[in-house]
Amino acid sequence: MTTPHLPAPDNAYVIGEKFAREHTIGNVKDTIANPARAGLGKAVDGWGLFRQKQAVTWADHYDGQNSLRNRADLIKAASGHCSAFMGYNWDVPPSKWVVAPFDTALGPSKRAAVDPATNGIVLTAGGLWRVDVHATMSGYTLNQTIIPIISPPYFTVVTTYNPILPQYTIEVVNADGTLYTARRFHAMANMSFEQSGLFGVNFPQSSAFSHTFVIDNMPAEADPAAPSHWKTVRLGIAYAPVNNGTFSSAYCSIRGGTRLSSMIVSRWSRDVEHINYKPEVPNGGTLG
């Protein structure tokens, strides 16, 4: 860069001046290292402030870190998992709650097991659990409407198709079959009403949903009394037809297989605090 007849910019190297000769090994090192030293100093000061707030010494922190070395058993003691899918496709009757049979295990399991007898997954340990479900339904409502006409046979039949309105309920039930906790989901139905063709309302629809819940501590699995404390996770399904014809009928199926169905349970913690279920609560007024 040149600046004819003008002063050179600050810190610019000008031939004939002593710019390079004024540098020493020491001040070059300082120029390079000082910004990093400043950042490190801020980090050290911040860590010291954190320790003051926590009221711990360096020795406390060091001992705490050492106490967690080689302690994978802490994670193993909390873990639990199981995965299942539906081994078959099933037809579903209208306006009736049924249990979707997640009867086939996928992969290893721990503190939980697939139970074909109950069509779900049995949990054999307390703590904080989460279940994730993927389900796929297809179905439609067939409506046939009789319309009078003036010539024989004096009526005609108009056939149209409506969607169905599916619902799912993740249920956790006790060993005696009573309900422990549940969460209900209303799936999004096809919204094409009174179609003359079937395709628009019969396309499979997948839904994915979850439920998190806490189960009280249970006896060890080897304890003869343990099975009476176990809980079963299952999926209840139902659907309502959308009837608007003189005669109506409905069809629905739920799809199985690993591509279109899944139930996975995971144990997140062995702690059992805040077991607090309120399926219904009072009105709290108007927000805002």
pLDDT per residue over 67-86, tens digit each? 667 676 666 667 899 999 99
Among 17, 38, 69, give the residue marking a domain's end. 69
Same domain, 96 and 163: yes
Same domain, 84 and 163: yes
> pTM above 0.85?
no
**Inter-residue contact 237 to 98 (CB < 8 Å):** yes
> Residue 195 pairs with which residues in a beta bridge?
161
- The enclosing domain of 180 has a CATH number of 2.60.120.660
Same domain, 207 and 232: yes
DSSP state of 87: S
For residue 211, which of 197, 231, 191, 192 has the smallest C-alpha distance?
231
Among 18, 47, 69, give the residue marking a domain's end. 69
The amino acid occupying position 55 is A
Distances from the Cα of 9 to the Cα of 13, 18, 27, 87, angstroms: 9, 15, 21, 79
Flag whether 192 is in a domain.
Answer: yes
Same domain, 56 and 113: no
For residue 129, which of 110, 104, 153, 151 has the smallest C-alpha distance?
110
Flag whether 74 is in a domain.
Answer: no
Round to whole Å and give the CA distance between 199 and 215. 44
Flag whether 282 is in a domain.
Answer: no
Same domain, 42 and 88: no
- Residue 29 C-alpha from the chain's centroid: 53
Flag whether 281 is in a domain.
Answer: no
Same domain, 213 and 102: yes
3-state secondary structure of 78: helix
H helix or E strand, kind and range, residue 26 = helix 25-54
Same domain, 141 and 167: yes
Asked whether the predicted pLDDT for residue 25 surpasses 70, the reply is yes
Same domain, 167 and 42: no
- Residue 241 C-alpha from the chain's centroid: 29
Flag whether 136 is in a domain.
Answer: yes
For 41, the domain range is: 1-69
**pLDDT tens per residue, range 140-189:** 999 999 888 898 888 888 888 888 999 999 999 999 999 999 999 988 66
Flag whether 150 is in a domain.
Answer: yes
- Which pLDDT value is given to residue 198? 72
| Structure-block tokens of residue 25 | 């090994």
Task: Examine residue 166 and say whether the peptide bond preceding it is cis (omega within 30 degrees of 0).
Answer: no
Among 69, 94, 118, give the residue marking a domain's end. 69
- Which pLDDT value is given to residue 203? 75
Asked whether the predicted pLDDT for residue 197 surpasses 80, the reply is no
Flag whether 154 is in a domain.
Answer: yes
| Residue where the block lists tokens 């056939």 | 159
Q: What are φ and ψ of residue 39, in 5° steps?
A: -65, -40
Same domain, 61 and 93: no
Same domain, 119 and 247: yes
**pLDDT tens per residue, range 201-240:** 777 888 999 999 999 999 998 999 999 999 999 999 999 9
Same domain, 54 and 193: no
3-state secondary structure of 68: coil
> Looking at the 3D structure of the chain, how many domains does it have?
2
Flag whether 264 is in a domain.
Answer: yes
Same domain, 104 and 230: yes
**Inter-residue contact 99 to 234 (CB < 8 Å):** yes
Task: Work out the burial of residue 32: count CB atoms within 10 Å of its CB; fewer than 13 is exposed, 13-18 middle, 19 or more buried.
Answer: exposed
